[in-house]
């Protein structure tokens, strides 16, 4: 079968690699893809933008695409799945209405309030005077979030009242996030440890993937500005069996039931960003309507099931009878980024050592890469690679991923040497 995969990051390289490994798949076309994917057997790329729904639909119709898989949120929020469903094209992802769980923080918060799903206390504002008055009675630490999609950058965890007031002013008065920041959600600061909890959902049943955790901060020790994610690992030991049960009973199942009841059944990957407190009680920090990047890279390295079987079960609404088989191994993915990431975007630097890194047994997933005229693989800005390895523990997988990452060089490079440190401390 021919699969169309939409997206261009490390998450999509991992999906393309895993889908191509299925003996049911003859061809994976990635739109628009990146330079690394085309080196995979059975995988090619096509220059169609992820939000060009007309062109993607025409491609799926004209190229006998049996199934389309959507990686990033933008086409989901724009309604790609609604269009494909209307045209009877099988597609993995939520409709526009269901993707509002990610597309609007206010929608997500109202929904959680309606169904008693545990999350931080919140209030929503479009007027800065009202927001500032609220801050007078709600001191720091406190969290300010742009309502709409802001590429992971619309969240300020304010440690001081001054920072909180500045964030409100930036978003509501100075419109630093444009329309996405025309409303802000002000939210109670939650203490605890974060984890990513991702499920494949068919509208009625949620089948949880293995647990994972990513590192959103740029610098070692989880310091510095928020990014899309600097590395991830699976499993996340903070999600004990008891926490897992609570997440399913208190959060995931009520979410799936509530969305169906509200007439917007959720299909595709539901990502719940969790904060787990000292008592092991989980609360929702955010929903995403897609797989996490970089969580997908270590997760798919541990998945022993055929992803196509799981997608077919999801399309047939038969996930209640499906099973995901995971390796007992752990996996760690280390993101290698351009030096200034998440600010600026240097590009065009020649990347050396990818083959040597792959030769160590790790897998180098590409994100922001392209080719120059001489055929060199070069940086294309932002997150460049995700070097992912499996091992018998998080410590071992981390050390194998670092050995591979040490083979890779370009002049202006940045990566964290402490991915998975919480799990490593627990291994000891």
Nearer to ligand AMP (CB atom), residue 196 or residue 205:
196
Nearer to ligand AMP (CB atom), residue 49 or residue 193:
193
With 0-12 CB in 10 A as exposed, 13-18 as middle and 19+ as buried, what is 177?
buried
With 0-12 CB in 10 A as exposed, 13-18 as middle and 19+ as buried, what is 47?
exposed
Q: Look at residue 120 and give the partner it binds from ligand AMP, ligand GLY, none, a contact being a CB closer than 5 to 8 Å depending on partner kind.
A: ligand AMP
Least distance (Å) from ligand GLY to the CB of residue 367?
Answer: 12
282 binds ligand AMP (CB under 6 A): no
Site residues for ligand GLY, window 152-171 (CB under 6 A)? 152
Strand partners, 126: none
User: From CA 259, how far away is CA 48, in angstroms rounded?
Assistant: 31
Would you give the binding string for ligand AMP spanning residues 251-280, x where CB under 6 A is met?
A: ----------------------x-------
Nearer to ligand AMP (CB atom), residue 28 or residue 120:
120
Residues that bind ligand GLY (rule: CB under 6 A) add up to a total of: 8
Would you give the binding string for ligand GLY spanning residues 61-100, x where CB under 6 A is met?
A: ----------------------------------------
User: From CA 19, how far away is CA 140, in angstroms rounded?
Assistant: 46
CA dihedral 297, 298, 299, 305 (to 10 degrees): 90
User: From CA 106, how far away is CA 223, in angstroms rounded?
Assistant: 27
Q: Any idea what the Cα angle at residue 384 is, between residues 379 and 388, rounded to 5°?
A: 140
Nearer to ligand AMP (CB atom), residue 41 or residue 279:
279
Site residues for ligand GLY, window 196-235 (CB under 6 A)? 214, 228-229
DSSP state of 179: G
In sequence order, which ranges of 199-288 are alpha helices (DSSP H)?
Answer: 241-246, 253-261
Q: Look at residue 189 and give the partner it binds from ligand AMP, ligand GLY, none, a contact being a CB closer than 5 to 8 Å depending on partner kind.
A: ligand AMP
Would you give the binding string for ligand GLY spanning residues 260-299, x where CB under 6 A is met?
A: ----------------------------x---xx-x----
User: From CA 369, how far away is CA 246, in angstroms rounded?
Assistant: 40
Least distance (Å) from ligand AMP to the CB of residue 189?
Answer: 5
User: From CA 179, how far away is CA 197, in angstroms rounded?
Assistant: 29
Residues that bind ligand AMP (rule: CB under 6 A) add up to a total of: 16
Site residues for ligand AMP, window 210-249 (CB under 6 A)? 216, 226
End-to-end CA distance of the chain: 45
CB atoms within 10 A of CB 159: 12
Nearer to ligand GLY (CB atom), residue 208 or residue 292:
292
What b/e readout covers 343-370, taking b as 16+ CB neighbours within 10 angstroms? eeebbebebebbeebbebebbbbbbbbb
Provide long-range contacts, Cβ within 8 A and 24+ apart, for 124-132.
124/183, 124/184, 124/185, 124/186, 125/168, 125/172, 125/183, 125/184, 125/186, 126/172, 126/182, 126/183, 126/184, 127/172, 128/168, 128/169, 128/172, 128/173, 131/168, 131/172, 131/184, 131/186, 132/165, 132/168
Q: Look at residue 293 and give the partner it binds from ligand GLY, ligand AMP, none, a contact being a CB closer than 5 to 8 Å depending on partner kind.
A: ligand GLY
Nearer to ligand GLY (CB atom), residue 229 or residue 254:
229
Least distance (Å) from ligand AMP to the CB of residue 194?
Answer: 6
Nearer to ligand GLY (CB atom), residue 237 or residue 292:
292
Q: Look at residue 155 and give the partner it binds from ligand GLY, ligand AMP, none, a contact being a CB closer than 5 to 8 Å depending on partner kind.
A: ligand AMP
171 binds ligand AMP (CB under 6 A): no
Q: Are strands 122-125 and 91-92 parallel, antiparallel or unpaired?
A: unpaired
8 Å CB contact between 96 and 82:
yes
Least distance (Å) from ligand AMP to the CB of residue 285?
Answer: 5
Q: Look at residue 226 and give the partner it binds from ligand AMP, ligand GLY, none, a contact being a CB closer than 5 to 8 Å depending on partner kind.
A: ligand AMP
> What does the binding site for ligand AMP look like in residue numbers (CB under 6 A)?
120, 143, 145, 152, 155, 157, 187-190, 194, 216, 226, 273, 285-286
> What does the binding site for ligand GLY look like in residue numbers (CB under 6 A)?
152, 214, 228-229, 288, 292-293, 295
């Amino acid at each position: 079968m021919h699969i169309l995969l939409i997206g261009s990051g490390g998450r999509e390289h991992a999906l393309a690699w895993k889908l191509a490994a299925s003996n049911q798949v003859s061809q994976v076309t990635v739109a628009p893809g990146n330079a690394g994917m085309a080196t995979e057997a059975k995988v090619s790329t096509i220059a169609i933008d992820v939000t060009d729904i007309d062109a993607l639909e025409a491609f799926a119709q004209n190229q006998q695409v049996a199934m389309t898989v959507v990686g990033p949120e933008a086409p989901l929020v724009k309604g790609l799945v609604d269009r494909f469903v209307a045209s009877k094209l099988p597609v993995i992802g939520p409709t526009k209405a269901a993707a509002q769980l990610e597309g609007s923080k206010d929608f997500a918060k109202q929904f959680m309030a309606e169904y008693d799903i545990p999350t931080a206390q919140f209030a929503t504002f479009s007027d800065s005077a009202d927001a500032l008055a609220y801050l007078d009675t709600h001191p720091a630490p406190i969290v300010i979030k742009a309502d709409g999609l802001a590429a992971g950058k619309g969240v300020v965890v304010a440690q001081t009242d001054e920072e909180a007031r500045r964030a409100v002013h930036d978003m509501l008065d100075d419109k630093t996030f444009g329309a996405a920041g025309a409303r802000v959600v002000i939210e109670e600061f939650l203490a605890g440890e974060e984890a990513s909890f991702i499920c494949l959902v068919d509208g009625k049943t949620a089948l949880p993937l293995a647990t994972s955790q990513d590192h959103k901060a740029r610098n070692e020790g989880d310091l510095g500005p928020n990014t899309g994610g600097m590395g991830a690992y699976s499993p996340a030991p903070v999600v004990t069996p008891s926490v897992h049960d609570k997440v399913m009973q208190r959060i995931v199942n009520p979410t799936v039931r509530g969305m169906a009841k509200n007439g917007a059944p959720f299909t595709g990957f539901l990502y719940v960003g969790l904060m787990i407190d000292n008592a092991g009680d989980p609360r929702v920090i955010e929903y995403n309507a897609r797989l996490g990047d970089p969580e997908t890279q270590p997760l798919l390295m541990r998945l022993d099931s055929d992803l196509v079987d799981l997608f077919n079960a999801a399309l047939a609404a038969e996930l209640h009878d499906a099973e995901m088989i995971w390796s007992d191994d752990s996996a760690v993915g280390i993101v290698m980024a351009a030096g200034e990431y998440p600010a600026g975007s240097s590009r065009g630097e020649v990347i050396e050592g990818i083959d040597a890194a792959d030769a160590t047994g790790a897998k180098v997933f590409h994100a922001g890469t392209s080719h120059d005229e001489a055929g060199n693989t070069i940086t294309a800005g932002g997150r460049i690679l995700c070097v992912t390895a499996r091992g018998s523990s998080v410590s071992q997988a981390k050390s194998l991923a670092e050995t591979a990452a040490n083979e890779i060089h370009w002049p202006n490079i940045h990566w964290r040497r402490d991915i998975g440190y919480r799990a490593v401390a627990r291994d000891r």
